[in-house]
Structure 1
């Protein structure tokens, strides 16, 4: 799609096409509170990017955010370095971000963080890409270098999107922020496709009559690589990604993604109440409160008890972790949410994910093969257990970083019972079949770094992904921030974060639902937005996600 000079693709999600980027950057600000509310404490549970965006904006409004965090600040924006090699970073969770995530980039830019192109398959800045399927290896720098079957698959995917999902219409409407057209097309598609899986969408598209084409597409996919692990999910989940270019031209954050939440923690914004130089870190004495053990209602207040047994009452609580933690990790009586919301929490489905990183002595993968002249290794997509191999070059004389495996769901489960070194042994064995004669192990420095998000006790998965028929559940969670219809003693508890967003797995969704919660707190405490800059709750009736019949 070619955009006009005045148009920019954004992650304007069609379910609720509100311009969060414009709301948060408007010179009027997000709103104002009654003076007697300034300094009021509000609990923010979870120190990931959603929690810290919410806390940061509540601070700017003049409230006193009290952040609780079970681990380290960052959540699934978790970055680790390799010993003294501080330039070499492994992003264990979120690691690549599309320019269309304009609300997220407001904060990235405000913190002055640098970015660079992410080495996705066939990206212009990726030196080489290797695709290995069924034991056959193909090397390419552009899609034109691949056999015709790959172009056939790409054409079939585009045709399926045009024929069954009005791709061009939706792309242009989102780029122009034509809310009327977005809602007209999307509301119809939700009714038609809510019960259809990603694989079912492909199988019912004439362009994908060939099983071989569906198989190749599952392994190689588009943008970031294979998508077969998403095949059981609702096709609506995929369309939101495609329409908003969330999988296009992605970048990484120099120095690691965790700099975003850590930066928000340390940054001192302009506020209407706090002295100049006040930051979240300063309000907390440098560290957040410990994990939350219990949340209960006490009249119109909510009482939060942390892991040390300390309890404190708040007029509002913003809850950002995975909602499954409400079922076991946090003791919370049922009045915290409505019955329909509890059902949606129970039905939440998570994607499993694992990664393994190693430090190398240098970017040896750029060495020329003595026979073929090509790079000895490239960014790799394979149907073997590594699935995706990513290569991070920090200069010819500096150690490099290899993500030797990036897997999802069943592929992630294959590593669940293996320790770090067993995983590395298995992966090197599999890669030896793809790159015979390349001694990867000889270049590895130190121990591998691994993550399996489904084994992390405060996450239990990488991110939520709706299955066919789960749109209604997602709508309940997303719209929970508007509480006008609830009695006063059932208000004040606000869900936000990746689970609540329509684009799970993308930080933009975590950020925008945090802003929903900020609007909810502002409204709950008697504040208002400015007429020139209405918030998401103010225009909810106009933009509300379509409500399917029950």
Structure 2
């Protein structure tokens, strides 16, 4: 995911034999606070440990954040992926860590993916079954062609894909900077409606409900088209895989893993061993304390650190964490306030077996398939572990307004409504007979420490995002605004993707290294060393 706003090769930086940098020996063992134990916080802590610093990790909930894999109590060998569950191979910084832990992956059953046995499209009560796009009625091919043509005609798709493939930084930025200026105030829907190939409302409607890659995109229609173009250009929407045993294995694995090479710490050292087996409690208060930053946890203990890495959603700085105003500039606080989050809900159950693979003798088709519908469930994903083993069913995966429809329903009500709705798509299929677990659900908008699934910029929000992303560059800031580093996927240009959480964590690691007087190897410059060459375009105020 060579993001055009800041096309830095994080994967090259990570795998270079010189490492990410070097600390002065007299600073070895210096404690640095890391707030939040999601993948961003775990990666930041892991790399700070490798540099010879002593990360002090705080986590209000459980390690993993939105990489949350919840075992079914009825059979803990199977999990419900409540947060991140599909990862594009283009996420090369993320896969650096997946590969380091040798975590196995498998193709994710997205609509019309090669690994998906059957895709069922249900719009306005009409059901179509397909293995490829060509199996669907002509109008769906027209919609796919319209999207491709719109991207090529209005967003220079071919040129940008070629530039990213070659990692031609100059050409990437030339194209992208022009598009940012052109489209910062344009919504996704406005972008479609302005295209002659999407002049038909019916085509726009079908595109919103079925979409491309991972499914329908109508809940993204109000968002900035720049958000969507980043996904398309970096191929973040194709060839997804899942992590065997659950995505949470990655942050938990890094927590327990001892790196092959690291400064200062003896062999066998891990984040877990540095923390005596458990992270500290959640953070309640952050204040400036002379040259240091004081962090108070929920247990009432206060410690002062020369640097603090803050990884939770930035909205938590507005209420859950009492953060001193002076630690961020006024324009950064405005960017924090203006951040826009997407809602999201999921409902999972465990089935006795992958009964959806059964063949209906009347039609010759499998009785169910991965389902896209304009009705209540919206997206249904089916996970098959073998014919004689239980199967996991994600009965609904929804966003924004569709997610809010679930908020007033408890878990059992959600399941009952979904089974009733799916019964209309699959008459005669007794799904309930095969369910062997209670439902496991999530609505991220009501999760106290998240308040949403991920950030998605609205039109006109590019300037705010630039402020958040560039906050790790602090040399020109007043002393009172140095030492606190924001990171996480909502600080990144590609929110909702673990890759953005990882790469902004690496920005923060560079920031801490620089702030404490360390340096990168001349042969392996970091994101801050190349910042002025790669910096996101700055739009006029």
Does the alignment reach a TM-score above 0.5? yes
CA contact (8 A) 1:15 1:186 kept: yes
Structure 1 CA distance for aligned equivalents of residues 454 and 15 of structure 2? 28
Report how far residue 182 of structure 1 moved.
0.2
TM-score when scaled to structure 1? 0.98
CA contact (8 A) 1:88 1:394 kept: no
Report how far residue 282 of structure 1 moved.
0.1
Report how far residue 86 of structure 1 moved.
3.3
Report how far residue 85 of structure 1 moved.
2.4
Does residue 77 of structure 1 match 2:67? Answer: yes
Structure 1 CA distance for aligned equivalents of residues 45 and 324 of structure 2? 25
Structure 1 CA distance for aligned equivalents of residues 76 and 46 of structure 2? 27
**1:53-98: per-residue Cα shift (whole Å, max 9, x none)?**
0000000000000000000000000001112523322110000000
**1:25-46: per-residue Cα shift (whole Å, max 9, x none)?**
1000001011111000000000
Structure 1 segment 89-104 matched on structure 2, within 5 A = 89-104=79-94
1:377 alignment counterpart? 368
2:117 alignment counterpart? 127
Three-state SS of the structure 1 residue aligned to 2:439 is: strand
Report how far residue 451 of structure 1 moved.
0.3
2:142 alignment counterpart? 152
CA contact (8 A) 1:68 1:292 kept: yes
Stretch of structure 1 that moved more, 281-290 or 263-272: 263-272
Does residue 260 of structure 1 match 2:280? Answer: no
Structure 2: 5+ residue stretches without partners: none
1:249 alignment counterpart? 239
Three-state SS of the structure 2 residue aligned to 1:428 is: helix
1:515 alignment counterpart? 506
Structure 1 CA distance for aligned equivalents of residues 298 and 20 of structure 2? 33
Structure 2 CA distance for aligned equivalents of residues 67 and 458 of structure 1? 16
1:358 alignment counterpart? 349
1:31 alignment counterpart? 21
1:166 alignment counterpart? 156
Query: Which of 254, 274, 277 pairs up with 1:283?
Result: 274
1:499 alignment counterpart? 490
1:450 alignment counterpart? 441
Does residue 404 of structure 1 match 2:395? Answer: yes
Report how far residue 333 of structure 1 moved.
1.5
Count of matched residue pairs: 540
1:470 alignment counterpart? 461
Structure 1 CA distance for aligned equivalents of residues 502 and 532 of structure 2? 22
1:298 alignment counterpart? 289
CA contact (8 A) 2:118 2:130 kept: yes
**1:194-218: per-residue Cα shift (whole Å, max 9, x none)?**
0000000000011100000000000
Three-state SS of the structure 1 residue aligned to 2:537 is: coil
Structure 2 CA distance for aligned equivalents of residues 530 and 357 of structure 1? 47
Stretch of structure 1 that moved more, 330-339 or 466-475: 330-339
Query: Which of 122, 130, 147 pairs up with 1:140?
Result: 130
2:411 alignment counterpart? 420
**1:89-125: per-residue Cα shift (whole Å, max 9, x none)?**
2110000000000000000000010000000000001
Structure 1: 5+ residue stretches without partners: 1-10
CA contact (8 A) 1:498 1:507 kept: yes
Aligned Cα root-mean-square deviation (Å) = 0.6
Query: Which of 382, 392, 395 pairs up with 2:386?
Result: 395
Does residue 198 of structure 1 match 2:226? Answer: no
Does residue 230 of structure 1 match 2:223? Answer: no
Structure 2 CA distance for aligned equivalents of residues 542 and 259 of structure 1? 36
Query: Which of 27, 36, 56 pairs up with 2:46?
Result: 56
CA contact (8 A) 2:74 2:437 kept: no
2:102 alignment counterpart? 112
2:421 alignment counterpart? 430
**1:471-502: per-residue Cα shift (whole Å, max 9, x none)?**
00000000000001112232100000011000
CA contact (8 A) 1:15 1:546 kept: yes
Three-state SS of the structure 2 residue aligned to 1:324 is: helix
Query: Which of 296, 315, 330 pairs up with 1:324?
Result: 315
CA contact (8 A) 2:74 2:436 kept: no
